[in-house]
């Protein structure tokens, strides 16, 4: 069939992704094709009544020498809804111990990410975007899901994958993700937590008096509890620290309760991740315990928890901090997941954190979720630096001029003064520097605002190279994570 299709469509300058061709039954095939820079779903049929919107050909085109007809359609949400009744392309909840989230800010390279991910025993989370990213890229949850589904079809992938509505902080974006059909909801409670860093003992005591009896029962019941790290090592939950944890998190957890009730009313199954990794406060064992036990006692079935580990998890670069300190904290957090059961640890801002991957894998016994996102965007910048140097220089100047604005959304320790006004070295080597990676990592919004068409046009021209760069980058992450040295 592939040969016949190519013979029919190649003269029309329609490119077929060979791995995408799927035989649904004797009368129906589906594939992905590209016309100029637009990807479409191809439907090959005989004796099948199928109605999809916006056909490319006004009448189905006959494939010479067969009884089959072919037409091409956009993967809009209407067509996606019809297509998922024919083949299982919609996202699912996670059913493996390890999951790995990639994210595709541009909506161009899910297939390249998947080509790396499918080589390992993990659950891929392909559609992964936050409201912050949606605003900066001028996309929505449906578009992110559709581009991910197109990547699944393009590679011929038949396994399961997930869709993560990342850093949900309000009901508006929650409902949009539900309507789009997302399966994972990462709840960011950072806007609702109490800040206690500068409070006096008297102020802390006054705040604790206002804590609910529900929270106080948890503290009274579990203060002094010993948690086993190993046969030789334990730690104890402090009463005073549990009191602080209740003050910090109690109000924030009401947001998780609200979201859980909405999700239960709308969806038959879903995964919740609770993110407590934002802000200045490293997550103490007591914080972790209080949050998890509170939610369990409320009957909330969350699947993963993202603590704030010691050290810095800045965007686009390796871990900054004392690895031994990170290891000690991780052992305690993992011990708590075993004591409380039913959920995994999650590592946020996990891209490029190569120095701690093997430690994370070993201590968690291969039971975790890792989030990455901007690392694939940086591969797009690399393609531009390699093949379109003039545009790269323009992007650099735009990023530098808008650095302070871009920094409002991301925590990075870079300043405009440390960058040269003109790049006087090889652009690929320049882009390899940590501060330059961070500059481009956080600047995607303004760069797309000012150079969207040029960026997309040039990346489409170099799709093969773009795919190769992205795939190799994800493979580098996975090799560091899974493979022995």
Q: What residues are designated binding site?
A: 167, 315, 348
Is the CB of residue 471 less than 8 Å from the CB of residue 113? yes
Quote the DSSP letter at residue 232.
Answer: S
How far is 65 from 60, CA to CA, in rounded Å?
15
Q: Which of 281, 478, 226 is nearest to 360 (CA)?
A: 478
| 273 is an active site residue | yes
Q: List residues bridging with 453 in a β-sheet.
A: none
Reading the block at residue 464, the tokens are 């093969």
Half-sphere exposure at residue 454, Cβ-oriented, CA atoms within 13 angstroms? 15
Q: Which residues are annotated as a binding site for a divalent metal cation?
A: 167, 315, 348
Which of 250, 273, 277, 352 is catalytic? The answer is 273
Q: Which of 253, 250, 243 is nearest to 203 (CA)?
A: 243
C-alpha distances out from residue 415 to 172, 293, 400, 419, Å = 34, 41, 9, 8
Is the CB of residue 405 less than 8 Å from the CB of residue 441? no
Q: Which of 402, 396, 384 is nearest to 456 (CA)?
A: 384
Which of 104, 140, 154, 166 is catalytic? The answer is 166
SS3 344: strand
How far is 180 from 165, CA to CA, in rounded Å?
10
| 188 is an active site residue | no
Is the CB of residue 294 less than 8 Å from the CB of residue 253? yes
Q: Which of 375, 388, 392, 348 is nearest to 470 (CA)?
A: 375
Is the CB of residue 92 less than 8 Å from the CB of residue 127? no
Q: Which of 134, 22, 34 is nearest to 87 (CA)?
A: 22
Backbone angles phi, psi at 168, to 5 degrees: -75, 125
Q: List residues bridging with 45 in a β-sheet.
A: 28, 69
- 130 CA to centre of own chain: 8
Which residues form the catalytic set?
A: 166, 273
């Amino acid at each position: 069939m592939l040969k016949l299709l190519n013979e029919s469509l190649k003269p029309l300058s329609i490119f077929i992704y060979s791995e995408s061709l799927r035989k649904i039954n004797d009368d129906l095939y589906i594939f992905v094709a590209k016309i100029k820079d637009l990807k479409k779903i191809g439907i090959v049929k005989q004796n099948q009544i199928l109605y999809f919107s916006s056909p490319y050909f006004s009448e189905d085109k006959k494939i010479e020498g067969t009884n089959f007809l072919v037409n091409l359609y956009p993967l809009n949400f209407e067509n996606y809804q019809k297509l998922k009744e024919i083949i299982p392309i919609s996202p699912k909840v996670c059913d493996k111990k390890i999951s790995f989230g990639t994210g595709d800010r541009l909506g161009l390279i899910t297939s390249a990410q998947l080509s790396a991910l499918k080589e390992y025993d993990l659950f891929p989370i392909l559609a992964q975007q936050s409201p912050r990213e949606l605003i900066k890229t001028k996309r929505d949850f449906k578009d992110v899901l559709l581009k991910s589904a197109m990547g699944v079809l393009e590679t011929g992938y038949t396994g399961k994958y997930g869709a993560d509505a990342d850093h949900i902080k309000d009901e508006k974006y929650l409902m949009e993700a539900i309507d789009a059909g997302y399966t994972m909801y990462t709840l960011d409670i950072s806007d609702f937590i109490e800040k206690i860093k500068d409070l006096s003992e008297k102020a802390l005591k006054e705040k604790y008096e206002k804590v609910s009896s529900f929270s106080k029962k948890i503290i009274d019941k579990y203060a002094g509890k010993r948690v086993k790290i190993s046969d030789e090592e334990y730690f104890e939950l402090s009463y005073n620290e549990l009191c602080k944890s209740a003050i910090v998190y109690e109000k924030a957890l009401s947001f998780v309760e609200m979201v859980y009730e909405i999700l239960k009313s709308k969806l038959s199954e879903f995964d919740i991740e609770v993110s407590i990794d934002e802000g200045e406060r490293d997550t103490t064992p007591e914080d972790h315990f209080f949050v998890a036990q509170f939610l369990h006692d409320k009957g909330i079935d969350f699947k993963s928890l993202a603590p704030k580990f010691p050290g810095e998890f800045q965007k686009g670069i390796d871990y900054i901090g004392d690895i031994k300190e990170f290891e000690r904290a991780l052992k305690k957090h993992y011990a708590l997941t075993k004591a409380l059961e039913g959920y995994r640890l999650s590592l946020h801002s996990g891209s490029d954190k190569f120095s701690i991957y093997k430690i994370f894998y070993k201590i968690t016994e291969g039971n975790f979720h890792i989030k990455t996102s901007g690392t694939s965007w940086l591969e797009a910048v690399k393609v531009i630096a390699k093949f379109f140097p003039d545009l790269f220089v323009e992007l650099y100047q735009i990023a530098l001029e808008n650095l302070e604005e871009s920094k409002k959304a991301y925590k990075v320790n870079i300043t405009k003064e440390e960058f040269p006004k003109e790049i006087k070295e090889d652009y690929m080597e320049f882009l390899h520097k940590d501060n330059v990676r961070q500059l481009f990592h956080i600047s995607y919004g303004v760069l797309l605002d000012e150079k969207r068409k040029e960026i997309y046009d040039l990346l489409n021209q170099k799709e093969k190279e773009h795919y190769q760069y992205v795939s190799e980058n994800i493979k580098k992450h996975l090799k560091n994570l899974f493979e022995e040295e």
